[in-house]
Amino acid sequence: MQLALEVNGVQVDIELPGVTEAAYDDAQARLHGALANPATKNRDAICDTFLHILKDSPGANASDLWHHVVYRLYCVTLPRYRRENPQQSWVRASGEALELAVQRWYEPLLSPLGIRIQALISPNKKKDVLQQMELAGLVGASKLDMSLHARMTSDRWNVFGGVHVKASLAERVSDDVPASRAMMQRGYFSPLWTLDVKSFPPPHGDLINRGELGTPADPSDKRRYIEEHGDFDGCYSANSRTAASAQRTPSGRRIVTLNLLEQPDEFVRDVIARATAVRSQASD
């Protein structure tokens, strides 16, 4: 479908391949229904709407669904039901919404294999996981978004990593670097998972969501975090326009482009591989 947007007084038509009018209308109705219910948290309304339109839109760019559909519908819909500034509300709620969406998307793939992926929404959960990793006091408690656990025995789970989740790499991803380095130094899996959202509005931009990672030939500073400095155990981007890394990089870490509807994707395969390695080491 083609979505007509008016930004800064300029109308721009955005192509959304893989999105049907029916899927868009359903997302709009779901968001209205969720926000009309006072018991529904904003983050849950965002998460549920994103997951449903993602499942309903084969061939769509997941990052565009978040950026051009869910975000823009949210900003229009929220004021009808709640006395909140929509842009400020999005900033507060969307980070946790994406963490919950990542958990819900990957749980059915990982749980049967004895792997738990958990959004660390509450401060207590964050602190508990950092204590298990023996990182409490060394890194900020807010610098871990999700945890990864492997079932070792019938009643014992071990933390083997944590996922840094970012819709946009403009969300000060550099702040997560010290925590990621500390995790990797202690043998924990520390990937970055992102929608790599970035577009420029008119009059100077065309609103195409190209992301912020540049290309291997013309890298951005954010790409260098991965390919040159190895600050994360790889970067997994659900923006189809993100340019993937070459097979070999200076750090050995790579940027991978994901199609979330083609599972198991490389993120899942790498999580499984790390969990398997942890279990193997424990049995030696």
> Residue 229 and residue 226: Cα distance in Å, rounded?
6
* 102 part of a folded domain: no
Residue 203 CA, chain-centre distance (Å), reads 29
The residue behind tokens 């969501």 is 209
> Residue 180 and residue 144: Cα distance in Å, rounded?
9
How much is the pLDDT for 244? 98
260/156 same-domain check: yes
* 25 part of a folded domain: yes
How much is the pLDDT for 141? 66
How much is the pLDDT for 138? 77
What region does 190 belong to: left with phi over 0, alpha with psi -120 to 50, or beta? Answer: beta
How much is the pLDDT for 171? 62
How much is the pLDDT for 71? 98
* 32 part of a folded domain: yes
> Residue 61 and residue 237: Cα distance in Å, rounded?
11
> Residue 281 and residue 148: Cα distance in Å, rounded?
17
122/189 same-domain check: yes
* 37 part of a folded domain: yes
The neighbour count for residue 44, using CB atoms within 10 Å, is 16
Q: Residue 125 is encoded by which pair of tokens?
A: 């959960």
Please report how the helices 42-55 and 21-36 are oriented relative to each other, as an axis angle in degrees rounded to 10.
160
200/262 same-domain check: yes
How much is the pLDDT for 132? 93
* 105 part of a folded domain: no
* 100 part of a folded domain: no
The upper half-sphere exposure of residue 49, i.e. CA atoms within 13 Å in the direction of its Cβ, equals 32
134/266 same-domain check: yes
Cα angle: 64, vertex 66, 71; to 5 degrees: 115
Number of domains in the chain: 2
> Residue 36 and residue 30: Cα distance in Å, rounded?
10
Residue type, 108: P
* 97 part of a folded domain: no
Yes or no: say if 165 and 130 are a contact pair by the CB < 8 Å rule.
Answer: no
129/224 same-domain check: yes
Mean pLDDT by 10 residues, the chain (284 residues): 89 94 98 98 98 96 98 97 97 97 98 98 92 84 88 94 94 85 96 97 93 96 96 98 97 98 98 97 81
> Residue 56 and residue 115: Cα distance in Å, rounded?
27
The candidate with the shortest Cα–Cα distance to 102, out of 35, 147, 56, is 147
How much is the pLDDT for 163? 97
* 211 part of a folded domain: yes
78/123 same-domain check: no
Structural domain span for residue 25:
2-91
87/134 same-domain check: no
Q: Is the dihedral of CA 252, 255, 256, 258 positive or negative?
A: positive
